[in-house]
Amino acid sequence: MRTKAVAATALLTLGLTACGAEIAPEEAAAGSAHYPVTVENCGEKLTFDHKPARVVTNDVNITELMLSLGLADRMAGYVMPDDKGKIDAVAWKDGYQQTTWLSKKVLTKEIALDAKADLVFAGWHYGFVEGTGVTPQAFKALGVDSYVLSESCRSGKGAERGVMDPLEALYTDLANLGEIFDVKDRSDKLIADFKARIAAVPRPERHPSVFLYDSGQDKPYTAGKFAAANEIITRAGGGNIMGDRADTWFTAGWESVVRLDPEVIVINDYATPRAEEKRRFLKSFPPLADVAAVRNDRIFVMDYVDLVESPRNPAAIGALAEYLRTVPAR
């Protein structure tokens, strides 16, 4: 934890106000009709006196929420590894060129301060982690505002995450960003487009059971009720075998997977091991030999950014639905 003297020096160096970096008088005047605005984020009221000008985002999904709304010009940069989704294949790929890749490692207070951030947009386990001291409270002490990804909101039961349906979390964040950055016309249009695209997805006549495999060999890491992956599976016409767990991402047991006998396994592809290595493990792991998905080789690979709250969710639902329509009855 920084001392008060160090924090004060950082604030003076960055020229931060209580609500972030100082802005030009002409911009403040232009925005006066809209500001201040107040939004609710993870049960907390956040008030902005002006449009944030130097946002630091963490992870590909959070970065793309900003870029999908055309807000690259309000970003100081982003933090993310280079193994979490193909950024050259999205409609807003040019936005990446308009901002700065600050780090391929993890979000730190130093990165945000060096970038002169007035707002850090991250989430619990999407950059915010108590163990490293990188939290909204820590940034607040340094005079930097934070916005928490709604998919990752804490439920109040320890570290358990999730307070709303995952797609509702996506729409909530887009609407809040529309208010915070005074681009409500863009956010309203994007939300309406996403809802229409998802509603138009042809779904299978039956609902194949699905297991989301993220990682882990001793025990699998998977998606519960409040993870975006759960709603992607559901909206695509499948049934997440772990969908009764009131959490986002958690560690389960192979015994449960075997007992629930999923018809399809969806692999979350990122980092290492990559998808083919995960597939080989699943196909060679003796306890899974008689599980329908493994026995029938019904293993579908999706990118990490497809399966967490992001503007790629509607396309991900369409792609998974197309695959699930090919799954025959047992």
Residue range 233-264, pLDDT digits in tens: 999 999 999 999 999 999 999 999 999 999 99
Instruction: Give the residue range(s) of CATH 3.40.50.1980 domains in the chain.
Output: 4-198, 203-324
Task: Please say whether the beta carbons of 165 and 198 come within 8 A.
Answer: no
Q: Per-residue pLDDT tens for 164-217?
A: 999 999 999 999 999 999 999 999 999 999 999 999 999 999 999 999 999 999
CATH architecture of 203-324: 3-Layer(aba) Sandwich (3.40)
Q: What pLDDT is stored for residue 86 in this prediction? A: 67
Element (H, E) at 309: none
Which pLDDT band holds residue 274 (cuts at 50, 70, 90)? Answer: very high
DSSP string, 48-111: ESS--SSEEEESHHHHHHHHHTT-GGGEEEEE--SSSS-GGGSTTHHHHHTS-EEESS---HHH
Q: What pLDDT is stored for residue 89 in this prediction? A: 65
Query: Residue 18: pLDDT above 50?
Result: no
Question: Higher pLDDT residue, 91 or 327?
Answer: 327
Query: Residue 138: pLDDT above 90?
Result: yes
Q: What pLDDT is stored for residue 187 in this prediction? A: 98
Find where tokens 């767990």 sit. 245
Judged on CB neighbours under 10 Å (0-12, 13-18, 19+), 73 is: exposed
Closest CA to 261 of 233, 298, 235: 298
Closest CA to 254 of 217, 281, 227: 217
Which pLDDT band holds residue 85 (cuts at 50, 70, 90)? Answer: low
Round to whole Å and give the CA distance between 148 and 146. Answer: 7
**CATH number of 4-198: 3.40.50.1980, 3.20.20.10, 2.60.40.420, 3.40.50.1370?**
3.40.50.1980
Q: What pLDDT is stored for residue 23 in this prediction? A: 52
